[in-house]
Amino acid sequence: MAVVMVVEDNVKLNAMFSKQLSTKGYTIYSAHSVREAIATVQAGGAPQVIVLDLELGDGDGRQFLDYLYERGIKPRVLVVSGYAYDADFDVSGYEVDSVFAKPVSPRELCTLVGQLI
């Protein structure tokens, strides 16, 4: 089954997204920071799909994407952000499949992930 990583610093959202995705049979890796996401990949957890918040407590989600790309890891990426409609929001230069503004329903998220796998 597919491996999905949820990188979201909001503990409740992370748990809700992870739980909903796990009910679809996906293997879930959960991280609340750039540091945790990198550590998960270093431990062998290379995901096929990433659900990524860009504004994380210890940095920017794009730093995690840079880390992956530097190592030749190019998963499918769904950005979920509370800042998606801000004028300075920019993910150009990154291979992002979709950008969604919070709030996103967990059911909708599962559908979107399913379309990418």
What's the pTM? 0.90
| Domains of the chain and CATH, by start | 3-116 (3.40.50.2300)
pLDDT of residue 42: 94
Question: Whole-angstrom Cα distance, residue 99 to residue 80?
Answer: 6
Q: How far is CA 100 from CA 31, 42, 73, 79, in A?
A: 19, 27, 22, 6
pLDDT of residue 75: 94
Question: Whole-angstrom Cα distance, residue 78 to residue 43?
Answer: 22
Question: Whole-angstrom Cα distance, residue 85 to residue 79?
Answer: 12
pLDDT per position in the chain (117 positions), as tens?
Answer: 799 999 999 999 999 999 999 999 999 999 999 999 999 999 987 899 999 998 888 888 889 999 999 999 999 999 887 655 544 556 667 778 777 777 788 888 888 899 988
pLDDT of residue 60: 85
| Cβ neighbours for 91, distance < 8 A, ≥ 6 positions apart | 54, 62, 79, 99
